[in-house]
Homo-oligomer: A and B are copies of this chain.
């Protein structure tokens, strides 16, 4: 949540001049993105209204090697009518450029706000949009491995150590120790795969009223089990922030919105509980690792790992299996 690189107006103007978007008239560093710097940029062509863009400078975590995948995916999805921002190519038609050794991209600005307490209607729209990108990405030929899969979660949790996990919460080593082997043993291998967003939290969805105006931040997008993306989105949207309250109306709306566009196969439905445990474990792992490696007095807000431990428990409870069982129509 910071702007890591300071760019003077003259340098910013020369960067923008590499794109055919008119003259720079405003650039404000925005407090978004964890590992890159972002500016809301405004330009003007004589006689036209101002245009707005997000200029992103990739500071570290995003490997430049992956940018053709991430940015190419945005263009691919936007061309097929999905609500994602287009990449603005430079005058030489490159989707990204370098400045001072750092990659940067100019991306279409989309209106919309990120809701913090979604309504069922909003969750329905998000499910709908998620299925849209799953289908629209079917003929996207670039590939990217999921860098945040089960192995990555295990490594992060090992790095925390049992003592470290216990220092966060005494129940945490047990929850992790019980769930990780179960995930490894039961992880599905025969489900449909596709490009997935893999991080579709409310923060990464722009909404205008009940409509999705933009899905953003595709920097974890990869090829993986399609239904895993449904599970990630379910874990991200259907609980109170601390994970203690499940909202069944949101859950039903999200799944119904999804199935309006792409029907879940019976095997995918059946796998959702374990996929949702895996999704919760993935966020538990990064949060636990960040928790232990961020000083308590740092300016960065640490996110509570326990809010995802509670989701792991919820999805492990057989009493909750019914939430993923098909609606009445499914048997018809």
Contact of A40 with B30 in the complex, beta carbons under 8 Å: yes
Q: Which residue of B lies closest to A8 (CB)?
A: B116
Oligomer: number of copies:
2
Is there a chain B Cβ closer than 8 Å to A24's Cβ?
yes
Partner of A111, one of B1, B25, B299, B300: B25
What per-residue 1/0 map shows which CB atoms of A27-60 lie under 8 Å from chain B?
1111110000000101010000110000000000
A115 vs B116: C-alpha distance when bound (angstroms): 37
Given A1-B3, A10-B117, A117-B10; A112-B32 close (CB under 8 Å): no
1/0 per position for A1-39, CB-CB distance to B under 8 A? Answer: 111000011101100000000001111111110000000
Minimal beta-carbon separation of A170 from chain B (angstroms): 29
Q: In angstroms, how far is the closest chain B Cβ from the Cβ of A49?
A: 6
Q: Say yes or no: is A298 at the interface (Cβ < 8 Å to chain B).
A: yes
Query: How far is B14's CA from A160's CA once the two chains are assembled, in angstroms?
Result: 41
For residue A113, CB closer than 8 A to chain B, the reply is yes
Q: If A9-B207, A117-B10, A207-B9 touch, does A112 touch B2 (CB 8 Å cutoff)? A: no
By a beta-carbon cutoff of 8 Å, the part of chain A in contact with chain B is: 1-3, 8-10, 12-13, 24-32, 40, 42, 44, 49-50, 111-117, 206-208, 298-300
